[in-house]
Amino acid sequence: MGKVGIIGVGQSAFVRGYPGSIRELAFEGFKEAMEDAGIAAAEIDASIVCSAPEYDKQRSPAGVFAEYLGLIPQPTCYLESLCSSSSMGLRFAYSLVKSGLHDVVAVIGFQKMSEISSAESQERMGRGADIQWESPFGTMMPAYYAMYARGHMAKYGTTLEDLALIRVKAATYGQINEKAVYRKPVTFDMFSDPESPMSGPVASPLRVGDCCANADGSSCVIVANEEKAKALSRKPVWILGLGAASTSVNLAGRDLFSGLTVAQAAGEEAYKMAGVAPGDIDVAEVHDCFTIAEMMAYENLGFAKPGEGKELIKAKETYKEGSIPVNVDGGLLSKGHPIGATGGSQIRTIVLQLRGEAGEMQVKDPEIGLVHNIGGVGLYGNVSIFGR
Amino acid sequence: MGKKKKEVDDRFKRFGTVSFTSITKVNDFIDYLDQGKVMGTRCKECGLAFFPPRADCHNCFSSDMEWFEVSGTGRLVTYSRLQFAPIGFGDDLPYAIALLDYGDYKVFGRIAGDVPEDQIQVGMEMTTRPNTLPNGQLNYVFHKA
């Protein structure tokens, strides 16, 4: 069996209040990926539809999308691992292609979060945690990640100012990403200005500026075997390494509160499979649903030693010109986080970077890229490594 | 003479401000809360202690469990004070969720509402006590030791 490549990537703009239905939203990311690949729907042998459940009235969206996108009578199914759904979709597409069962597989991620209110959305996301023993206390995503922020601060002396620097970096690139939902500039001083929405409290110690926004969006990644990839694509990007892990859903079953064990484990597995080390990564997309999540990602992926992530951002090493550019498309903090579409959007960014087609966001001549995508509160972790 | 309705043991619906579960094999947890006790389970086969309580041991596959009381003090591992709440929890604001480490097990819950924020410190010792919420539901909260 040969290599597995990516021959097409696409995403919709990530927006608030998408003016269409979920099948129409999915069409946008799919169309861009298919035009990028330059193939017809008949050449897709199977599709995997990825999102977090309970945002839509539509049950089993895979069949509806397959019909709308012209992907019948090929097999299709729905797959979810919360916020890392489409990275998990890539993992399953890889295995379908690697096994020889299919030649070309489409991974379609989507989420239309604006169907419900923000409070309802927090309730849905809170129920991605332990509904028997944690949700009855009134939990929500920002508060869980805030507990990790507090743990990181207590152990390493990380400060709110360190975290604000990550949001400032995200906004630097969000402003030049036409697909991002948040395109306004964010300055460091906004976090200490009580008049600025960035400084508003959400769940201590995290503030509004530390949190990504809900958004509607879709993404699509077309995966092919080596023969098809070489025949169909001018510049295939190869999947070099895949890692995935899970942990206890209830925080009571965990031991680490200054990092995510799933990211450590998935990272180690992906590095081993790809035969590369953290220092070999030229450009990375990490799951910055909150500023603290990017800080922990630096350390869990080995870009910095535990507790030293703050030095990376202070020295601007994760900016486009730095030693390890991270989220130079604005990340989830600026792009927005349409849960099921996020992983595919991260993969799209890395594929465009490795092809040298990232425009204003282009990092200088990258050869190896990495995607870190987390589901739930560090419940599921996927790390994927790509090369030219 | 109607058909006798099967009695459903849904005691767990009383847990928390909003409960999302009503039927579980560890429903006795609620009776213990009523009696003023916060209880976990321990596997009689291998001795593993579980909090939150479990009906089944993943270590040895036994379902032969005994209850033990969460007693003494636990160390505050981390916490967060919420200014926004998910739907159904708005009346409780502001409140803090937290995690205590008891050594053999950890306990996830809320910090008691009367503990001032400036007295909460990661690493402090706290106790876990049953609590009745304003809406009559039951949970447990952490107090300064």
- Catalytic residue of the set A83, A211, A212, A289: A83
Q: For residue B3, what pLDDT is reported? A: 65
Give domain limits for chain B. 11-69, 74-144
Active site residue A83: yes
How many beta carbons lie within 10 A of that of residue A81, not counting itself?
25
Chain B neighbors of A137, CB-CB under 8 A: 16-17, 97, 108-110, 139
The reply to whether B57 touches chain A by the CB within 8 Å rule is no
- Which CATH number does the domain housing residue A108 bear? 3.40.47.10
> Does A33 fall in a domain?
yes
CB A335 within 8 A of CB A287: no
Task: Give the mean pLDDT of A349-369.
Answer: 98
Q: What angle do CA B74, A292, A188 make, to 5 degrees?
A: 130
Q: What angle do CA A69, A369, A383 make, to 5 degrees?
A: 75
> Does A186 fall in a domain?
no
**Best A134, A137, A256, A296 residue to mutate vs chain B (most B CBs within 10 Å):** A137
The beta-carbon contacts of A184-192 under 8 Å, at least 24 apart in sequence, are A188/A161, A188/A164, A191/A160, A191/A161, A191/A164, A191/A167
Q: What angle do CA A98, A34, A9 make, to 5 degrees?
A: 65
User: How many whole angstroms separate alpha carbon A310 and alpha carbon A274?
Assistant: 27
- Catalytic residue of the set A102, A287, A337, A372: A337
Shortest alpha-carbon distance between residue B132 and chain A (Å): 13
Contact B80 A204 (CB under 8 A): yes
Whether the pLDDT of residue A362 is over 80: the answer is yes
> Does A324 fall in a domain?
no
Q: For residue A1, what pLDDT is reported? A: 63
Task: Supply the DSSP symbol for A290.
Answer: B
pLDDT digits (tens, 9 = 90+) for A158-198: 999 999 999 999 999 999 999 999 999 999 999 999 999 99
Contact B109 A137 (CB under 8 A): yes
> Does A55 fall in a domain?
yes
> Does A319 fall in a domain?
no
**Best A117, A120, A124, A133 residue to mutate vs chain B (most B CBs within 10 Å):** A133
Contact A252 B18 (CB under 8 A): no
pLDDT digits (tens, 9 = 90+) for B116-145: 999 999 999 999 999 999 999 999 999 999
- Give A58 or A276, the one with higher predicted confidence: A276
- Report residue A8's pLDDT band, with 50, 70 and 90 as the boundaries: very high
> Does A127 fall in a domain?
no
> Does A110 fall in a domain?
yes
Enter the tokens of residue A293: 């999540």
> Does A99 fall in a domain?
yes
What residues are paired with B127 via a beta bridge? B143
Structural domain that includes position A221:
4-117+216-232
Mean pLDDT of all residues belonging to chain A: 96
With a CB cutoff of 8 Å and minimum separation 6, the contacts of B25 are B55, B56
Chain A neighbors of B137, CB-CB under 8 A: 136
The reply to whether B134 touches chain A by the CB within 8 Å rule is no
- Least confident range from A142-146, A180-184, B83-87, B127-131: namely B83-87
How many beta carbons lie within 10 A of that of residue A11, not counting itself?
28
Contact A122 B86 (CB under 8 A): yes
Shortest alpha-carbon distance between residue B5 and chain A (Å): 26
Q: For residue A383, what pLDDT is reported? A: 98
Shortest alpha-carbon distance between residue B3 and chain A (Å): 32
Active site residue A220: no
Contact B106 A253 (CB under 8 A): yes
Q: How many domains does chain A have?
A: 1
